[in-house]
């Protein structure tokens, strides 16, 4: 990974596209594609998120299709590959925590959170999306491009919202208000 042009914000490096790319999810058009992208595995999980998710499973199960609940009960909700934990996927497509509402893929963990049943919103990697955190002697934030997200690029341009602004809530959750303010001070530089 090249370190040229990276924006240093405290001890975190940010790739310029996070500040420059227009982005605002358009669920009506993408149908929650980020939760159903074809892959052997789902979202990356932090080690500290695994016991939290284990603790809240019973509150999440009512939102899930039976096939997903059965898979989680039989094989667990995550898999470790090469030292990285990731959610399991159903038929190499949707995350094991996906449910569908009006043909839109949504997160059952977030649904339980929004209904006040749990205090954990969802895995940080999901909340930060389309930002991905790469470890390179510390965190490096980058924009992960998916063709399925092209409606979000169009909507972001229309609304004049950049990735860093779209992801404000998740960036504050992960790095704090002070860090986010410092990031936004770099916006015009």
Other Cβ atoms within 10 Å of 132 Cβ, number: 15
The angle at the Cα of 114, spanning 77 to 73, to the nearest 5 degrees, equals: 20
**Nearest residue to 104 (alpha-carbon basis) of 146, 148, 169:** 148
Report the domain count for the chain: 2
What's the pLDDT tens digit per position in 147-159? 888 999 999 999 9
Q: Which of 120, 151, 171 is the last residue of a domain?
A: 120
What's the pLDDT tens digit per position in 68-122? 999 999 999 999 988 889 999 998 889 999 999 999 999 999 999 999 999 999 9
> Could you tell me the residue range of the domain that residue 135 belongs to?
8-23+130-189
Using the predicted structure, report yes or no on whether residue 1 has a pLDDT greater than 60: no
Over residues 12-32, the mean pLDDT reads 92
Using the predicted structure, report yes or no on whether residue 4 has a pLDDT greater than 70: no
Whether residue 107 is found in the same domain as residue 139: no
Q: Is residue 2 part of a domain?
A: no
Whether residue 73 is found in the same domain as residue 146: no
Separation in Å, CA 140 to CA 16, 122, 161: 11, 21, 21
Whether residue 92 is found in the same domain as residue 12: no
Q: Which of 102, 120, 138 is the last residue of a domain?
A: 120
Whether residue 12 is found in the same domain as residue 81: no
Q: How does DSSP classify residue 148? A: G
């Amino acid at each position: 990974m090249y370190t040229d042009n990276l924006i240093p914000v405290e001890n975190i490096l940010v790739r310029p596209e996070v500040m420059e790319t227009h982005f605002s999810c358009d669920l009506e058009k993408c149908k929650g594609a980020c939760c159903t992208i074809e892959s052997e595995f789902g979202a990356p999980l932090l080690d500290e998120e695994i016991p939290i998710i284990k603790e809240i499973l019973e509150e999440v199960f009512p939102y899930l299709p039976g096939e997903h609940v059965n898979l989680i009960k039989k094989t667990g909700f995550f898999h470790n590959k090469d030292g990285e934990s990731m959610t399991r996927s159903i038929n190499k497509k949707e995350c094991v925590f996906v449910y569908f509402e009006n043909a839109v893929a949504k997160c059952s963990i977030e649904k339980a959170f929004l209904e006040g049943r749990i205090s954990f919103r969802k895995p940080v990697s999901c909340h930060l999306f389309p930002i991905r955190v790469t470890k390179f002697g510390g965190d490096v934030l980058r924009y992960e491009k998916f063709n399925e997200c092209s409606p979000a690029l169009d909507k972001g341009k229309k609304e004049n919202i950049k990735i860093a602004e779209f992801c404000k809530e998740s960036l504050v959750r992960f790095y704090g208000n002070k860090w986010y303010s410092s990031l936004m001070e770099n916006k015009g530089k």
